[in-house]
Structure 1
Amino acid sequence: MLKRNHRQLFTAILANRLILYFLLFLAVFSYFLWLNNASVFPDPDSFYHAKMVALMQASGPVKEFPWLPFTTLNDVYIDHHFLYHLLLAPLVCFFSPLLVIKLAAVLFAALAIVLFQWLLDQLKIKYSLVYTLSLLFSDQFIFRLNLAKAPSLSLIFIFLTFYFISQNKNKWSWPLFVLSFFYVWLYGGWPIFLGIGLIYLTVSGVSRWLAYVNSLKLKITIKNFKLLFNRRIFQLPFSIFCGLLAGLVVNPYFPRNLSFYWQQTFQIGLLNYKKLVDVGSEWYGLIFFDLIGRNIYMLILFFAALVLFFVFIRRQKQFTWLLFFLSLIFCVLTLKSQRNIEYFAPCALLFSALIFNNMPFNLRSPGVFFKELFFKYRPLSITLVFCFLLCLPIVFSYNFFSLKKALTHGFGFQEISPSASWLSRNSKNDEIIFHDSWADFPLLFYHNTKNRYLVGLDPTFMYFKDRQKYLLWRDIVKGKTNSPICRLILEQFNSPYMLIRITNKALLAQFDLDSKCVKVYEDKEVKIYTIEELAN
């Protein structure tokens, strides 16, 4: 009797999706919390976001950005993560900004995984947990998802958009309008929504046109192509386009946001100046075999789905076509800039799930199916099983040990804090500090807003402002100049103080050789110099 009651209770839990989603959330949240269990950010931009949240809580939206006078941000600045910062600002009243950013990253990342599982269930995908586990085993995706930035929240918006597109039959959608509106406020990558709308419009139009032509046995001509431009087809993507336009115009930064987005999203995001400027590692591409090695299970499903997609191409629905094109586009973008793995991985798995779910043969008894398949193709099956088992230790290593190491090493909460405090006490308001790494700006900005700095967030902003100044700064920090270093920095950058990392041996050697340079501060992280006449 007791055994039967336990079985009934277990069955009831399985039948209640909300309980399962809650349990999944607890499991994933605990896993991500373990991965992030250190007072460290792997990405220095997290300090920038923490400071922006604190500034917003203290004095409202930041409209001007005087802290980087040698960059275009000094001329045209918008907070392109405005909604992200706005959501977190109230929490700063109770907790440290760094702690708020850290915990928010874990929370939003866990919610994104649960929402991915929910979306699979809404699409009625069989064995949906397989795809969610495959996503969790993509270490590059999980790394990006756990950064204290906006990508996890961006994915939540995208998953909701996919849901409303899948449920809508070419009608105007207010949920899509609202999502698109706030996505512009949330994330500078809002053109992703524009791309989704354009692809869906094209797929829907062409699909309807081909169906109409085939049903009437008409020839495919330019004259018949006018069937593509049907008002009904435009309604759903038009709700996305109108939401984006409204988000751009009804915006605290309009009209400055238009020129900023052109620079940030298109020139830096799509064109990219990584061959001319030393940008962050996330902007550099992945080697194809490295992408495969670190996302093996996800890519096995994706490549198998691609084969089945073309085999049964006439059976594919509009939503499947949308995910097909998005997966290919994000795959190419990932090979160009590895940060795009955060979009490629879920799109590829959603596409794979739809393909396997709509296969014309029965997979309701997977045990029988795979048993028959194994004995029919025994040599190939044994090889695949062997490869699968061989990959397991590598995957586990990447996902549990390498991933934890990557997320718990980087920039400590108090890194550069002592030197930034010293500068705040000993320098004048608005004095420009020369620093030898653009990655140090977010840390300096968080700990000391009294001073101004040279370059940060992305060195391309300095390159756009003054190409010669950027190239000079780059030569100086690499120790390639022969002029008296302190006098050169003072004259060219108007910087009375120079903060140099202990690890930059080549530049420190030049400072030590310059008799006019005076060291005024030193700790285990940095040395600070000034010119002799200013030290007296």
Structure 2
Amino acid sequence: MRSVFIPSPGEGLRAMSRIATVQQAVRQRLRFNLSTLLLGAALWSIFMAGLAFIQFSTPNLAGNDGYYHIKLAQVMRETGLRPAFPWLPLTVLNAERYVDHHWLYHVLLMPFTFGDLRLGAKWASVVLPSLTFLAGWWLLRGQRVPLAALWALGFLAVSEAFLYRMSMPRAQAASLLFLLLALHCTLSGRERWLLPLGWLYVWLYNAFPLLLVVVGAHVAARWLLAGRLNIKPLLYAGLGIVLGLIVNPYFPDNLVFIYHHLSPKLTEATATSVGREWYPYQTWTLVENSGPALIVFVLGMLALGLSPRRMEADTGTLFILAIVFGAMLFKSRRFIEYYPAFALLFCALAWRPLIEEWRARPGIAAKSIPAVLALVLLPSLFLTLQKAQESLQNTTSYAQYAEASAWLEKNTPEGSRLFQTDWDDFTRLFFYNTHNTYTLGLDPTYMQRYDPQLYDTWVDITQGRVEQPSQTITELFGAKYALTDLGHTQFIKQAEADPRMQEVYRDDDAAVFEIVY
């Protein structure tokens, strides 16, 4: 006969107590998760509202390149993830060697290409940076920073130029998102996630070496401050980058393109003008458009001096990153899309021990810390949002070249080449007109690296240094049509004096010449 176990009353009570404890812990965890979810949703809504306030204050897009990105995303959605690219045949991005070094970014843009492309680009430029700022809050929360939500709102307050760059339909917001996710994984010990992040970052943007900078900063900080050298994060990140380069939709052409793309900027081996973003700000301009970002770094340094505790490795990591990205910013203004974020995060972590100590004290002073932080934050937030909105409102009209492009599409043969006098006009022309192909675009070094002599000839023609340029335009560039903005007066003068160049279209933005024989 099998015996039956009957628990004693004491054992039954203990079991019921354990069950009740587990149930209480589950309820607390659910309440915690729900409150975290609601706080995250509220923060995301605020980020979305602030960025929409900037973005929809004008019908124009921030910058020029966004017109190209959203149009190419539409082409990818309609024709496939590796579309043919016949539009820049005289550059390193010709049809045989084309590499989409923003491939993953264009994939992310594809859901925004239904309907009005301009509005789709704007919504993408609200959603992606808002997710980036939310990732910043998640990072602060993971590092147990008090008042992490208030600190995260600082992303809307630290720099007008930062918000303007985040509002561009370009990959920089997604790039910062990847770096913040990588930093969170590194600081929280989830090192293996750096492998897929590195892999995908390569597909997203050619700024992927910054991943090694971010991870390397933590390795260095932990070694210097805690005496522990752990290179596993660097190995995972490096392996992810290598895999992203090799297991790549454009391998091996992507390796050649990276050399062509980055070497002129890193070595300054060419006198070719590559756009204002690669040159530094004037010092006072930086103070005007990013003063709060400079101030929060100084405040972070002040907190380090006031704190009796030894600097922790996570704070040291952000300290190194703020210095590195600050140095990059003084070299090139395009790093304004990184420095303010890392300066803010450094400041938040530097003040963490002081705020924890003050909040532990009894009295009203401890309870007033959130109000004090909010009073400091809100005026800067509103002022920065307003200035960023004004910067976006001062951008070139989205309609520039729309009518000229429509005329070209209607009156020129499909695939016919257009000689244009400005390399950065390509993005708008491509947005409105994929019917024609173009001389150069996106980056002047793409032609300069493809054929230096051809590029020099293009410069001479556009500057009006070539008399009767029709023969050169036809024979060297394969173009029978030329488009110029009205500011290239010397080119227009030479074109009007050339009997083989006839003006066939003109509006307030551009003139089109046809070469006839």
Letter in 1 for 2:36: R
Letter in 2 for 1:321: G
1:180 equivalent in structure 2 = 198
CA deviation vs aligned residue, 1:198-228 (integer Å, no higher than 9, x gap): 33334444556x47xxxxxxxxxxxxxxxx5
Matched, 1:262 2:264: no
Structure 2 residue aligned with 1:50: 70
Equivalent in the alignment of 2:504 = 520
Aligned equivalent of 2:39: 20
Deviations 1:322-372 (A, max 9, x none): 22222111111111111111111111111111111134993326985999x
SS at match of 1:144: helix
1:500-531: CA deviations, max 9, x gaps? 11233332233223333211112222111123
Cα distance in 1 for partners of 2:222, 2:429 equals 50
Give TM-score scaled by structure 2 length. Answer: 0.83
Q: Specify the alignment match of 2:485 in structure 1.
A: 501
The residue type equivalent to 1:418 in the other structure is: E
For 1:424, the equivalent position in structure 2 comes to 409
2:225/2:311 contact within 8 Å kept: no
* Offset at residue 102 of structure 1 (A): 1.7
Provide the rounded CA distance (Å) in 2 between the counterparts of 1:203 and 1:23: 34
Structure 1 residue matching 2:231: 3-state secondary structure? helix
Task: Name the counterpart of 1:135.
Answer: 155
Structure 1 match to 2:7:
none
CA distance in 2, matches of 1:471, 1:144: 31
Aligned equivalents of 1:421 and 1:157: distance in 2? 39
Asked whether the 8 Å contact 1:41–1:409 carries over to 2, the reply is: no
Contact residue 134 and residue 297 of structure 1 kept, 8 A: no
How many Å apart are 1:488 and its aligned residue?
3.4
Q: Does 1:105 align with 2:125?
A: yes
Structure 2: how far apart are the matches of 1:464 and 1:507? Answer: 24
Query: Aligned partners of 1:330, 1:122: CA distance in 2, in Å?
Result: 22
Residues 118-155 of structure 1, C-alpha deviations (whole Å, 9 max, x = no match): 32222221233453343312101100111011111222
> The residue matched to 2:236 in structure 1 has which SS?
helix
CA distance in 1, matches of 2:268, 2:85: 23
2:357 match: secondary structure: coil
Alignment of 1:20-419 (within 5 A): 20-37=39-56, 38-62=58-82, 64-74=84-94, 76-92=97-113, 94-137=114-157, 138-168=159-189, 173-207=191-225, 210=227, 233-264=230-261, 266-272=262-268, 276-309=271-304, 315-359=310-354, 362-364=357-359, 368=365, 399-400=385-386, 402-419=387-404
State the percentage of identical aligned residues.
29
1:188 & 1:431 partners in 2: Cα distance?
A: 31
For the structure 1 residues 247 and 427, does the alpha-carbon distance in structure 2 shift closer, same or farther, using more than 3 Å as the test? same
Q: Measure the CA separation in 2 of the matches of 1:362 and 1:397.
A: 31
Which secondary structure state, in structure 1, belongs to the residue aligned with residue 254 of structure 2?
helix
* TM-score where L is the length of structure 1: 0.80
Is the 1:46–1:148 contact (alpha carbons within 8 Å) kept by the matching residues of 2?
yes
Match of 2:24 in 1: none
Structure 1 residues 482 and 342: CA distance shift in structure 2, 3 A: closer
- CA deviations on 1:89-141 (whole Å, 9 max, x unpaired) are 2443x423333222111111222222222322222212334533433121011
Aligned partner letter, 1:435 = Q
Describe the SS at the equivalent of 1:78.
Answer: coil
Distance 2:42 2:207 in 1: 32
Conserved 8 A contact 1:421-1:447: yes
Q: Which moved more, 1:340-349 or 1:247-256?
A: 247-256
Contact preservation (8 Å) 1:63, 1:253: no
* C-alpha distance after superposition, 1:361-389 (max 9, x if no partner): 93326985999xxxxxxxxxxxxxxxx99
More displaced stretch, 139-148 vs 522-531? 522-531
Q: Which of 476, 491, 494 does residue 492 from structure 1 map onto? A: 476
1:447 aligns with 2:468: no
Unmatched 5+ stretches in structure 1: 1-11, 212-227, 372-387
**Corresponding letter in the other structure for 1:473:** W
Provide the C-alpha distance between the structure 2 equivalents of 1:370 and 1:114, rounded to a whole number of angstroms. 25
Aligned partner of 1:383 in structure 2 is: none
Aligned CA-pair RMSD: 3.1
Asked if structure 2 preserves the Cα contact closer than 8 Å seen for 1:63 and 1:78, the reply is no
Name the amino acid aligned to 1:521: Y
Q: Structure 2: which amino acid aligns with 1:160?
A: L
CA–CA separation in structure 2 for the residues paired with 1:313 and 1:486:
74
Query: 1:463 and 2:448 equivalent?
Result: yes
Letter of the 1:297 partner, please give it.
P
Between the two proteins, the alignment pairs up a number of residues equal to 475
Which AA in structure 2 matches 1:331?
G
Secondary structure of the corresponding residue to residue 338 of structure 2 = helix
Question: Contact 1:442 / 1:456 at 8 angstroms: preserved in 2?
Answer: yes
**TM-superposition CA deviations, 1:468-521 (whole Å, max 9, x none):** 222222232233x15113333223322211101123333223322333321111
1:57 CA drift (Å): 0.8
| CA deviations over 1:275-300 (Å, ceiling 9, x no partner) | 71222221111123332332222322
Letter in 2 for 1:475: D
The answer to which of 521-530 and 191-200 deviates more is 191-200
Q: Given the superposition, is the C-alpha separation of residues 58 and 339 from structure 1 closer, same or farther in structure 2, using an over 3 Å criterion?
A: same
Runs (4+) off by over 6 Å: 12-15, 310-314
Asked if the contact 1:157/1:179 (under 8 Å) is kept, the reply is yes
Encode CA deviations 1:427-476: one digit per residue, 9 max, x unaligned. Answer: 23432211111111012222222322111111111111222222222232
Other structure's SS at 1:16 match: helix
CA contact (8 A) 2:467 2:494 kept: no
